[in-house]
Chain A
Amino acid sequence: MELVPLFFGITFISFTVIHLAPGGPLDALSALNPKVSAEAKEKLERLYGLDKPLLVQYGSWIIRLLKCDFGNSFVDGEKVTLKIAKAIPVTLSISFLSLLLILIFGVLIGVASAVHEDSPLDKILTFFTLAGFSVPTFWLSLLLMSFFGVSLGLLPVSGLYSLFHEEMSFWGKLLDVLKHLLMPLLVASITGLAGIARFMRSSMREVLKQNYIRTARAKGLSEKEVLYKHGLKNALLPMITLLGLSVPGLLGGSVIFESIFSIPGMGRLFFSSVFSRDYPVIMGVLVLGALLTLVGNFLADLAYCFVDPRIRYSSEESA
């Protein structure tokens, strides 16, 4: 129940902070344009309710929010919910696919590193995952685009669809999307691999030091069984929490990445709305983020109870 005041706190602080940022939504359309008269600017301010005190603006925003009305964008008048609804599937599918890739390869790399701790293999894997983590996204993307897109001409440079995608057959469309997705997924996976791989490595290492692993070995199980049945299973448990915490991130998208590949996702929506000081859209995205974080935390708490029965939240404690 403490989630409700928390939610209002988050929105109030966000609302204040974005209004404190210099400039306003009208600057983009009227700043330093002699064709825009001062009277016209005042008229616009009244129309958008920007002439009222901040608290009044926040109040009316909250009242509308309680009626599930996120308002319309100042920039193009489109409904905020519609804008977000258009961007979510794009971002969600890409981050879901890349998370899947990261998970598969991250776990493989992590396990291999842990099992062959301090071997040359471990060092090479560590080097490459960390290099992938450290390399700037934009640089790697441009390099890949220039190589696969321009020099080899194998893959499309940017976007999600070809120009006349609408006129393609079903299989043509599928192939088209796959080709377009390949590079973005590659970049997202390479740059995101390190976290999971390192986490997996240390978790697996811890597990392999446990007594029950020694017991398993002692009772003469094959190394394969020891590692995958007893080791991996237990080492994977902490990953569940890690995944739970990455839920809000799944929808966040990445600005740099989406801009370079011209993908119309959440990162770009948020970025452009911040730059045009499009308050309703900024608040819409932030509310969504806040909700997801709260829900994510809540789910993580539930998951702890589920996974580890020793953890109990009694009602007296939480009140």
Chain B
Amino acid sequence: MRAKKLLSWHFFQKILPLLLPAGVFFLSPLFSEDGLQASLRGDAFVTASIGEPSNLIPFLATDTASADISRLIFNGLLKYDKNLKLTGDLASSWEVRENGLKIIFHLRKDVLWQDGKPFTAEDVEFTFQKILDPTVPTPYSGDFEKVKSLRVMDLYTVEVIYKEPFSPGLASWGMGMIPKHILSKEDLRTSSFSRKPIGTGPYLLKLWKTGEKLELSANPKYFEHAPFIERYVYRIIPDQATTFLELQTENLDLVGLTPLQYKRQTDTSFFRQRYQKFEYPSLSYAYIGYNLNSPLFSDKNVRKAIGMAINKKEIIDVTLLGLGKVSTGPFLPGTWAYNEKVEESRYDPQRAKKLLSQAGWRDDDQNGILEKDGKKFSFTMITNQGNEARKMACEIIQKRLKDIGIEMKIQVLEWGVFLKEFIDKKRFDAALLAWQLSPDPDIYDIFHSSKTRPGEFNFVFYKNEEADRLLEEGRRLFPEAERARVYRRIHEILAEDEPYTFLYVPDALPIVHKRFKGIDPSPSGIGHNFIKWFVPADERKYKMRTA
């Protein structure tokens, strides 16, 4: 084995001079790392969005479209990897000291801004100052208000001191960093930088035509490596039907499908030949939130009975055509905070009836609706307009509750009215809604009993002393194992108290053109390694002029 290897090396050495004059041009690009990458580079990727980005400055990018683009142009100090664990981005490493009061970030030394200037700790300090600047209209200052001070130790080291340990704060350093040397004299509210950004990220913004498209090109100096896909085109197509027609003409390379499109409309030979579909849990869950101050729902047995009377699998099968999972709590299934031991409340209308009768709800006058103290069990479920799946879910629930003797009315409301007049003013019995999940499991704002003022998020008035204590503790702890213990317990408590009836986690359903290779589906989805996607030379669709 060894001899053979030597021999071939010898042989190679011998013929090398012969190959050199002609072959070096051929071989060297294939052998060197850079050369291999260069051969993968090319083509364009075209996707579409319903809305137009509004502002690309990371902490002012509040809508999905802005965040999509901002992510390509800027980097934070940390990011979530494909398994939804925090990892370094602009920071090569970080240390948590003094029980979390102090965090030290060590920055990468090989990062350049897209204009060629080096990225340093000064930029981190500047970004931090701007987020807290009272004249900068960012909605994301909350997590940073908990920082007592931030100090630049040297060019590539930053020390952050918190007022109290705050572990979700670590993830907030995933916020994109902005360049001090360009923005130090600019007013961020009016600066043209929001439309002509310069970041550290894998793509540079080339062109932005309002209402039409944004075009980005690969950053050849990106610190990981230049992305293989040369251009990124983000079209703005406000109509979903049009988007699908554009997909049918192969003008779009990635679209998020609806369950109906996923199951039926793309189930054709055209799509099978040319596109590849993916399916994985999205970062969100749908639930019924009960107003716990309402006399109907203050008894947890009533809430549990409703949970049992609803067949969640049925809701998933009907509204999402089976493309979703039953949810048992406010964490993403499969992540470390999620407690596998919490079982979904099984569909069991008989037990539901029994629970209700124990709680004093009986159908004494035989009219099919339960009564207690002469009042019938009737309530209104509210949900927001524009989400067909939620409306359908309401109708299914209505039927199931009728089966156990509860009358439920449905009110579908415009989003603004829904929030201002009903949720904020707590004028509702129950609401069917969904929360986006962030990879960090901190849900203090949603379930802590102090967060019930108008505009705050515990609008169901949930209060449980143990949960309160654990929610506070979870934010102070840093090691994952210790936090996992806390959040798994919270998961149990919420299942026991059932302030929400957790319904389902819908699937994300992207479809991607088949010419793109290197896609690596993982818990975080497919976007995490976008810079490694490539199109083999013979399949390239768009011929690029080299910039």
Residues of chain A touching chain B, judged by Cβ–Cβ distance below 8 Å, are: 21-24, 26-41, 43-44, 47-48, 72, 75-78, 83, 86-87, 138, 142, 145-146, 149-150, 153, 156-161, 163-164, 166-167, 259-265, 268-269, 272, 277
Contact = CB atoms under 8 A, between A and B. Distances in A.
B12 interface: no
A157 B433 CA distance: 35
Interface stretch (B3-11, B18-26, B449-457): B449-457
Contacts of A24: 416
Interface stretch (B70-78, B132-140, B274-282, B393-401): B132-140
19 contacts: A26-B139, A30-B139, A32-B423, A34-B445, A35-B143, A38-B456, A39-B142, A40-B141, A47-B135, A48-B137, A76-B54, A76-B55, A77-B194, A158-B239, A158-B246, A163-B46, A260-B241, A260-B242, A265-B211
Interface string B421-454: 1010000000001011010000101100000010
A261 B242 contact: yes
Contacts of B139: 26, 29-30, 33, 35-36, 40-41, 44
Given A34-B445, A77-B190, A145-B242, A159 B235 contact: yes
B245 A146 contact: yes
B62 A29 contact: yes
Interface of B: 44, 46, 51-55, 62-63, 134-135, 137-143, 145, 189-190, 194-195, 207, 209-213, 233, 235-239, 241-242, 245-246, 248-249, 251, 414-417, 419-421, 423, 433, 435-436, 438, 443, 445-446, 453, 455-457, 542, 545
A70 to B, nearest CB: 14
Nearest to A145: B245
Contacts of A150: 245, 248-249
Given A153-B249, A262-B211, 12 more contacts: A21-B416, A23-B416, A28-B63, A34-B443, A35-B438, A37-B145, A43-B141, A44-B139, A77-B189, A138-B241, A158-B237, A159-B235
Contact of B54 (A36, A37, A75): A75
Given A27-B419, A36-B142, A260-B239, A149 B54 contact: no
Contacts of A38: 453, 455-456
B211 A87 contact: yes
B248 A166 contact: no
A78 B211 CA distance: 14
B211 A268 contact: yes
Given A77-B194, A163-B542, A22 B238 contact: no
A254 to B, nearest CB: 13
B245 A149 contact: yes
* List of 10 A-B pairs having minimum Cβ-Cβ separation, nearest first: A264-B211, A23-B416, A37-B142, A29-B62, A76-B54, A34-B445, A36-B139, A259-B238, A22-B416, A22-B417
A28 B457 CA distance: 16
Nearest to A90: B211
A149 B246 CA distance: 8
B44 A22 contact: no
A40 B140 contact: yes
Nearest to A38: B455
Given A28-B63, A32-B457, A142 B245 contact: yes
A142 B241 contact: yes
Contacts of A72: 189-190
Contacts of A40: 138-142
B11 to A, nearest CB: 48
B419 A262 contact: no
A7 B272 CA distance: 59
Nearest to B140: A35
A23 B237 CA distance: 25
Contacts, number: 158
Contacts of A75: 54-55
A36 B140 contact: yes
Contacts of A149: 245, 249
Nearest to B416: A23
B419 A161 contact: no
Contacts of A277: 416
Nearest to B436: A33
Contacts of B443: 34
Interface centre among B140, B194, B417, B456 (most CB of A within 10 A): B140
Contacts of B137: 43-44, 47-48
A161 B141 contact: no
Contacts of B241: 138, 142, 260
Contacts of A83: 210
A122 B139 CA distance: 62
B46 A34 contact: no
B212 A32 contact: no
B211 A23 contact: no
B249 A23 contact: no
Nearest to A83: B210
Given A29-B62, A41-B139, A157 B249 contact: yes
B190 A86 contact: no
Contacts of B233: 163
A160 B445 CA distance: 45
A198 B21 CA distance: 81
A75 to B, nearest CB: 5
Contacts of A22: 414, 416-417, 420-421
A77 B207 CA distance: 18
Nearest to B457: A34
Contacts of A77: 55, 189-190, 194
A272 B446 CA distance: 30
B475 to A, nearest CB: 13
A163 B446 CA distance: 44
B55 A157 contact: no
Contacts of B143: 35
A28 B62 contact: yes
Contacts of B249: 149-150, 153, 157
Contacts of A164: 542
Nearest to A263: B211
Given A27-B419, A77-B189, A163-B542, A39 B145 contact: yes
A26 to B, nearest CB: 8
A26 B455 CA distance: 12
A223 to B, nearest CB: 49
A166 B251 CA distance: 17
Contacts of A264: 209-212, 236
A262 B416 contact: no
Contacts of A259: 238-239, 242
Given A22-B416, A43-B134, A163-B542, A35 B210 contact: no
Nearest to B415: A23
Contacts of B52: 272
